[in-house]
Amino acid sequence: MNPTPAAPPALAFDRVSMEFPGVKALADVSFDVRAGSVHALMGENGAGKSTLLKILSGAHRPTSGSLRIDGAPRTFLGTADALAAGVAVIYQELHLVPEMTVAENLYLGHLPRKFGLVDRRALAAAARRQLDLIGEAIDPEARLGRLPLAQRQMVEIAKALTRGARIIAFDEPTSSLSDREVRRLFDIIRDLRARGCAVLYVSHRMEEIFEVCDRITILRDGRLVETAELAQLTRGGVVQRMVGRELANIYNYQPRAHRAPGLVVEGLAGPGLAEPVRLEVAAGEILGIFGLVGAGRTELLRLICGATPRTAGRVAIGGKEVDTRSPQSAIAAGVVLCPEDRKKEGIVPVRSVLENLNLSARRRTARFGVWVDESWERRNAGERIEQLRIRTPSARQLIRNLSGGNQQKVILGRWLSETVKVLLLDEPTRGIDVGAKSEIYGIMQQLARDGVVVVMVSSELPEVLGISDRIAVMRQGRLAALVPRAEATEAGLLHLALPEEARRDA
């Protein structure tokens, strides 16, 4: 590869290292991002992508090494500095004010003024021009909070352009967008490229990278693995470089024997369900539940394990009726839930790995139900860390310092410290890197082999198809269909998941 000697790259990282107490987040990373190109940045969680973006945005200053913009070394003392140099980083959580109008958001901090007051007319006109530039039909006077998420993201992009940004970085921009909105975003990114911007694109989604990017830089454990033209790489090649080993098949599905009766749910009703649900899952079976957002999947899981109070319904395990009307009784019956939002509902972030692992089991192991059995808890934590290969320096580490995959393993470990008969998983691999995903699939299959009923809700079709023995499709609060593994296809499941009206059109 020969970079054109005439023009220096729009953005260059030059031997950038970043150290936090006890952690080397980046070590000697160098690569170029060229003007008029879309550059993918990939790596597992913890590979250093976020740290790199924070350095780019001026939030962090590298311990050593430097950043060059158009060939000139720059040190950003803060985010304002980076913006002034034409660098904008667009994060997952948008940095906009929902209570203000679109136009005010676009010009926040440098609103056009007349006699010391905001010049509303000039503001509206300028905002209109900016929105037209990216081809968005958004009313500049609309309150931002009323716009759908995708449009807010467009506003964020327009805002970057109003500041004259020429280097724009996206951090997982599509994680909450629909397919159509993703198309729209890609059109805009291609447009940015055509206008000579340098785009840095961070994502876990392989399809997107191959669709929209020209070049790629892969990081692993804070080190540069490779920078290459995407055309020279295959998906398998990218994954292999990310994880540092060959992952033939991350699901590694192996058929298992099923034993009925496992879990039987009958007449289950409650908020989020349009009609009572009946469901049977055999012991040793992995049931995938697929559906669009809002189809009632999360609600179904929460009703089964008593996280949400039900209005009617019975649950039986192995032919015997059990009480699962509250989490306490459900846990005692062996029905447990790994919730959808790990940070909000799963972990206790300010407590240690040990505390999080023993959160539930200690009620059972405490002496007389009162005194914590500390030696048991230490032993249990050690065993779970070993069994699930939880990567943590010690059991005393705060769980919030672990990567998403390891946090999820801790929550699994919390349940493996109990006697589990039914494991309910809600989006168990969301935001988790490939390596940890593969390990979690392995754990699910191992549990199923041991006779546990596994029920997994997921929005990712490849995952649902890859790991489930049977797939339940939910649609508008109803159980719409049950499809055996052999008959399930992406198109078929998607068709079943669409609302009636949409299916007639299709």
Partner 1 sequence: MTTPEPSPAPAAPPGSALAAFFDRAGMLVVLAVLFLGCSLLVENFFSLANMRGLALAVSMTGMVACTMLFCLASGDFDLSIGSVVACAGVIAAVVMNRTGSIAAGVSTALAFGALVGLANGFIVARLHINALITTLATMQIVRGFGFIVSGGSAVGIGLDGFFGLGNSSFLGLPTPVWITAACFAVFGFILNRTVFGRDTLAVGGNPEAAHLAGIAVARVKIIIFTAQGAMAAFAGIVLASRVTSGQPNTSLGFELEVISACVLGGVSLTGGVGSMAFVIAGVLIMGIVQNAMNLLNVPTFYQYVARGLILLAAVLFDRWKRQRSGGSAG
Binding residues (CB under 8 A) for partner 1: these are 20-23, 25, 44-47, 49-51, 53-54, 60, 92-93, 171, 221-222, 307, 327-328, 330-332, 337, 339, 343-351, 355, 358-360, 362-363, 366, 369-372, 374, 391-394, 397, 400-404, 406, 414, 431
455 and 301 Cβ atoms separated by less than 8 Å: yes
CB of 23 to partner 1, least distance (A): 4
- Report the alpha-carbon distance of residue 16 to residue 91 in Å, rounded: 21
By beta-carbon proximity to partner 1, the closer residue of 101 and 408 is 408
Closest CA to 431 of 149, 174, 168: 174
By beta-carbon proximity to partner 1, the closer residue of 436 and 488 is 436
Continuous H helices in 163-283? 179-194, 206-212, 235-243
CB of 480 to partner 1, least distance (A): 27
In the Cβ-directed half-sphere of 365, how many Cα atoms lie within 13 Å?
18
Element (H, E) at 160: helix 149-162
By beta-carbon proximity to partner 1, the closer residue of 225 and 465 is 225
Decide: residue 66, CB within 10 A, 0-12 exposed, 13-18 middle, 19+ buried: middle
**Bridge partners of 338?**
425
By beta-carbon proximity to partner 1, the closer residue of 100 and 332 is 332
Q: Which two tokens stand for residue 333?
A: 């019956």
- Report the alpha-carbon distance of residue 494 to residue 362 in Å, rounded: 42
By beta-carbon proximity to partner 1, the closer residue of 227 and 403 is 403
Residues 6+ apart with CB under 8 A from 487: none
Residues 6+ apart with CB under 8 A from 273: 296, 299, 300, 303, 477, 478
CB of 295 to partner 1, least distance (A): 21
C-alpha distance from residue 302 to each of 85, 135, 291, 294, 458 (Å): 49, 42, 16, 14, 14
CB of 198 to partner 1, least distance (A): 21
By beta-carbon proximity to partner 1, the closer residue of 153 and 392 is 392
C-alpha distance from residue 232 to each of 39, 219, 228, 246 (Å): 14, 17, 7, 18
CB of 450 to partner 1, least distance (A): 22
CB of 8 to partner 1, least distance (A): 29
Decide: residue 258, CB within 10 A, 0-12 exposed, 13-18 middle, 19+ buried: middle
CB of 118 to partner 1, least distance (A): 32
The secondary structure of residue 482, as a DSSP letter, is E
- Report the alpha-carbon distance of residue 178 to residue 183 in Å, rounded: 9
CB of 298 to partner 1, least distance (A): 12
18 and 63 Cβ atoms separated by less than 8 Å: yes
CB of 95 to partner 1, least distance (A): 13
By beta-carbon proximity to partner 1, the closer residue of 37 and 408 is 408
By beta-carbon proximity to partner 1, the closer residue of 274 and 332 is 332
CB of 253 to partner 1, least distance (A): 27
CB of 363 to partner 1, least distance (A): 6
Residues in the chain: 506
By beta-carbon proximity to partner 1, the closer residue of 82 and 331 is 331
- Report the alpha-carbon distance of residue 87 to residue 85 in Å, rounded: 6
CB of 164 to partner 1, least distance (A): 26
Residues 6+ apart with CB under 8 A from 303: 268, 269, 270, 272, 273, 310, 313
Q: Which two tokens stand for residue 121?
A: 């007319």
- Report the alpha-carbon distance of residue 328 to residue 363 in Å, rounded: 10
By beta-carbon proximity to partner 1, the closer residue of 25 and 279 is 25
By beta-carbon proximity to partner 1, the closer residue of 282 and 402 is 402
By beta-carbon proximity to partner 1, the closer residue of 100 and 359 is 359
